[in-house]
Structure 1
């Protein structure tokens, strides 16, 4: 049709021989097939032919640009034609202009549109096309980091006025009362004590070296079979033993081992997992481990990873009450309750053991949402009725009511109470709500659960709807240390009473450590039993730290030498019964001297058991309690001195002016 139209127009303007006309048409046909040649040179064409060619070329250009802006895979071409101003948010800033946190940030209007982490950010049309082009994962990560930056700047500037708009590690260090590692890395002056400390350090190196040799990157070492164990608690996350060991390696001065762990975090810790994770375990081990590593070393890597992982836990709080569910898919954000939990309930020790880490996530990110989430839990617990002042272990995240009246200071309940007193201490003793909740709970525990055996042993029984079960779990043995560190902050006239109670409970737990000098998972005080496991299913020991934890706290509070002697008993027992050729293993029966091993070197053995033993044989200025609290996985977190940080910021501003 185009050729015919051309022929008609040519015939109207001049009479030419047919042979010549066909020659012109042939030339135009070649033009259509070889456009680049024509666009480069219009030579040899008459005026009318040039008009036709330009008409065709303009149509072709219009078609191309239409495709450029409407086809889904055109984003790269658009960047060629769009101005530099329009594409600025996607350009990486020069290194010397990057945000102090090392995260990508945006400028101008895009930055002002980003919301807090709890809201979905506005996404440009170009960003949508980028996702369609296959860049969804990277785009999500950029948005995640940009949200964190924006929330940090916005929240900090509104909360602190003239203070710096980012967390300052230097200011934090100046607000500590003492250096974290003491004057000489906590080395005791007594040669015997130092020798024992060096033995614990050797145990840590032995456990770590075998983990690295046989299970590197896996969650835990299986020392008998010399391979790694992944498990299903961490939702696809790897390296639990590495994260749990970071601070232990650092304070012990195992520099090469610490650097290996740090390098693994930098190159191999993948937070984009898509499995079923325990909210509780990921928080206390991974988030807690990364936070403590940052506060001890100042390495931005650990802070960035902790905040990134913290955001992945937030969807677990999307319930009618704000009480988080126990299991979360870290990829999709879907959460649900444990299948074994009564009526789809959440567990007191799990949703009650988030406060320390989440407050620090707010400190580092500047985003208040983390603190808001855990404070909402507090508000609900204060509002609902508590039987005899006690906190049952199961709570519905839908109705906000207790599901059944089972109370335990051991498993299912334990660290909820620990986090109340530690929240108060970590707030520089300004969190009066936590203080009130803790001492009210402790009074109810004393009135209803604390018992004295016929042999004079003080223990914590369990409560089942008003009926006492005279059983105490190994997990409940942390309570000696907990009551001890809270003794100074209750009623002055009760200080000695609390110290005595702490000492009695710690003594009871020591009595359960026999005949192997290692304690069972649970022990009873009925039918003539005194701190003894009467059931075969309770006789195992899985390298737990709780008894040794109380030894460490009681040593620091009283300096009674018996606690160091008891700790040395535990060291010798671990060496004799749990040390195998390629690591440390739990045992199946603490009452049998011919032991059977369970083939598992738990990550908390590296994080808690060996760390508490090392601190027990160190001077008190190694991680002094005036500056640090330990989360329930023994990761040290600093006391938050808001007034000091604000004073430091004011001084810095005055100097700069």
Structure 2
């Protein structure tokens, strides 16, 4: 009998609608942690945890005591800490900003913003999977009910294609895959269809802004010569492949594959991908290359597209490793102090600056280390570790032990922000993201130690009475808060911290791929069985 491929297999709970239970993956529950505590530590009961939590954070594990992080009860306390941070952030959002996009914790009100085209509840949609993974089921159920009854997709505003895709589409897809709730699938299919008109350009490269009601799209006013942004049109692939999977409609995959086709066809300076591309002519508009803002997640989605395809997307693999080779040849630098960093490239001239956004790249390089040329595996592991070390240095060299928005390597500076405009921290996740991936793939305990350092800093400097807030200057001894609890703090920063201390079989990397907003999506697998007709994919997280 000939072999044929079987249908798309989703995680087992999707067929049975039995919920995904993190506790089955050895992720300690709040009850487990309380039982594991000593009599002295029992002071931190669930009823008193909110008040006591700052003491918990500063007392365990002791700063710099790496062996403490190998003790299961202590890891349980760490997980409890992250769950409590999430609950504190969520409870204040619910109390003061429910239904708005983000919380302003100092003024105790909500923020809507102009990125989402009239869509509301960004923090709710972004939090669905984090709440579920952490086992905060009452909070998750409140979020689910809001999505079902109050998430209005018939908005008529100006939305960022990129932001709506990574937060709303990614968040709803992930919630569906984790829970099997059909409501999430229905919602995301409606929203996905509303994004398609952005691709109605001469080249098929989507414009960055779309009116979700009329379907009219245009480029950002600040984008050079009406261009589209590499990190925006290049960060659609994971979600759009899953939209095609769920709808049995190939149009979503066709749209993102057309982007790839054009990128493969046009000339790339020194093998690099500039950040600005005309959706009309299909030509580069400026030769500015960055692994940070404007470019970052394009490269991330190349390797993740390969991994999400069960390592069958050879085109994505080739594009990723070719791009990485060009990045190493042109952008990767070593400072006089021995720190490895990724500079920016402006028409052949290097700008020796690395943004916080670029700190995701340690994680990116390490998840692709095994699939490059065998002789380069150790090199990629070393490169990932060096980049992550540099990003940790940007934290450790500040007064708050939190990292600036961008840091430089010129004029005697090393991993520090020299410009006032670069000194802020807005609860970004990229450094912690790389800690999580480096831990998962090396099990070097320093990454957990570094993660806990970040928790201590977040608790000390970013926690306010009604939530968490970014700060305006990481080098200031007395911080000034920016009055914004970003939705990605709930979706990414706290989730990556939780996964950093969880067992590897909680959302294992061989079965799940995280989108750039940290929403887990299952690997799409091809499975061939004997004697069955028909050809279809298999998606699994088993």
CA 296–644 in structure 1, closer or farther in 2 if over 3 Å, else same: farther
CA 230–644 in structure 1, closer or farther in 2 if over 3 Å, else same: farther
CA 163–501 in structure 1, closer or farther in 2 if over 3 Å, else same: closer
Given candidates 211, 231, 234, the residue that maps to 1:329 is: 211
Query: In the alignment, is residue 526 of structure 1 matched against residue 406 of structure 2?
Result: no
Q: CA–CA distance in 1 between the matches of 2:228 and 2:321? A: 24
Aligned to 1:394: 276
Query: In the alignment, is residue 359 of structure 1 matched against residue 241 of structure 2?
Result: yes
Aligned to 2:22: 181
CA 174–498 in structure 1, closer or farther in 2 if over 3 Å, else same: farther
CA 649–415 in structure 1, closer or farther in 2 if over 3 Å, else same: farther
Q: CA–CA distance in 2 between the matches of 1:481 and 1:162? A: 32
Given candidates 430, 451, 460, the residue that maps to 1:567 is: 451
Mapping of residues 453-492 of structure 1, within 5 Å:
453-492=335-374
Please give the secondary structure, in 1, of the residue aligned with 2:416. coil
The Cα of 1:181 is off from its aligned counterpart by 3.3
Mapping of residues 167-316 of structure 1, within 5 Å:
169=10, 181=22, 183-187=24-28, 190-316=72-198
Please give the secondary structure, in 2, of the residue aligned with 1:356. helix
Cα-to-partner distance string for 1:344-372 (whole Å, 9 max, x where unaligned): 00000000000000000000000000000
Q: CA–CA distance in 2 between the matches of 1:230 and 1:646? A: 53
The structure showing larger relative contact order (alpha-carbon pairs under 8 Å, at least 6 residues apart) is 2
* Residues 6, 528 of structure 2: 8 Å contact kept: no
Cα-to-partner distance string for 1:168-194 (whole Å, 9 max, x where unaligned): 75768689xxx7737344339711111
Aligned to 1:634: 518
Aligned to 1:622: 506
Unaligned 5+ segments in structure 1 are 1-159, 653-657
Query: In the alignment, is residue 607 of structure 1 matched against residue 511 of structure 2?
Result: no
Aligned to 1:152: none
Please identify which structure carries the higher helix content.
1
Q: CA–CA distance in 2 between the matches of 1:614 and 1:219? A: 23
Cα-to-partner distance string for 1:574-615 (whole Å, 9 max, x where unaligned): 000000000000000000120000000000000000000000
Aligned to 1:499: 381
Aligned to 1:410: 292
Structure showing greater radius of gyration is 1
Cα-to-partner distance string for 1:470-529 (whole Å, 9 max, x where unaligned): 000000000000000000000001000000000000000000002211000000000000
Please give the secondary structure, in 1, of the residue aligned with 2:114. coil
CA 645–173 in structure 1, closer or farther in 2 if over 3 Å, else same: farther
CA 171–206 in structure 1, closer or farther in 2 if over 3 Å, else same: closer
Q: CA–CA distance in 1 between the matches of 2:229 and 2:529? A: 35
Q: CA–CA distance in 2 between the matches of 1:645 and 1:478? A: 38
Q: CA–CA distance in 1 between the matches of 2:516 and 2:245? A: 19
Please give the secondary structure, in 1, of the residue aligned with 2:365. helix
Query: In the alignment, is residue 419 of structure 1 matched against residue 301 of structure 2?
Result: yes
Aligned to 1:582: 466
Q: CA–CA distance in 2 between the matches of 1:579 and 1:290? A: 28
Aligned to 1:147: none
Aligned to 1:543: 427
The Cα of 1:197 is off from its aligned counterpart by 1.1
* Residues 361, 387 of structure 2: 8 Å contact kept: yes
Q: CA–CA distance in 1 between the matches of 2:496 and 2:376? A: 27
CA 335–647 in structure 1, closer or farther in 2 if over 3 Å, else same: farther
Aligned to 1:99: none
Q: CA–CA distance in 1 between the matches of 2:401 and 2:502? A: 22
Cα-to-partner distance string for 1:609-641 (whole Å, 9 max, x where unaligned): 000000001111110001000000000000001
CA 395–162 in structure 1, closer or farther in 2 if over 3 Å, else same: closer
The Cα of 1:539 is off from its aligned counterpart by 0.1
Please give the secondary structure, in 2, of the residue aligned with 1:533. coil
Please give the secondary structure, in 2, of the residue aligned with 1:455. coil
CA 180–403 in structure 1, closer or farther in 2 if over 3 Å, else same: farther
CA 393–172 in structure 1, closer or farther in 2 if over 3 Å, else same: farther
CA 163–458 in structure 1, closer or farther in 2 if over 3 Å, else same: closer
Q: CA–CA distance in 2 between the matches of 1:648 and 1:304? A: 30
Please give the secondary structure, in 2, of the residue aligned with 1:494. helix
CA 168–223 in structure 1, closer or farther in 2 if over 3 Å, else same: same
Please give the secondary structure, in 2, of the residue aligned with 1:328. strand
The Cα of 1:205 is off from its aligned counterpart by 0.1
* Residues 22, 134 of structure 2: 8 Å contact kept: no
The Cα of 1:431 is off from its aligned counterpart by 0.1
* Residues 249, 255 of structure 1: 8 Å contact kept: yes
- After the TM superposition, which segments of 4 or more aligned residues of structure 1 sit over 4 Å from their partners? 160-164, 167-175, 644-652
Q: CA–CA distance in 2 between the matches of 1:203 and 1:291? A: 24
Please give the secondary structure, in 2, of the residue aligned with 1:183. helix
* Residues 181, 621 of structure 1: 8 Å contact kept: no
* Residues 243, 289 of structure 1: 8 Å contact kept: yes
* Residues 551, 564 of structure 1: 8 Å contact kept: yes
Query: In the alignment, is residue 345 of structure 1 matched against residue 190 of structure 2?
Result: no
Please give the secondary structure, in 2, of the residue aligned with 1:597. coil
CA 418–378 in structure 1, closer or farther in 2 if over 3 Å, else same: same
Please give the secondary structure, in 2, of the residue aligned with 1:640. strand
Unaligned 5+ segments in structure 2 are 29-69, 537-542
CA 163–506 in structure 1, closer or farther in 2 if over 3 Å, else same: closer
* Residues 182, 621 of structure 1: 8 Å contact kept: no
| Paired residues, number | 488
Please give the secondary structure, in 2, of the residue aligned with 1:512. helix
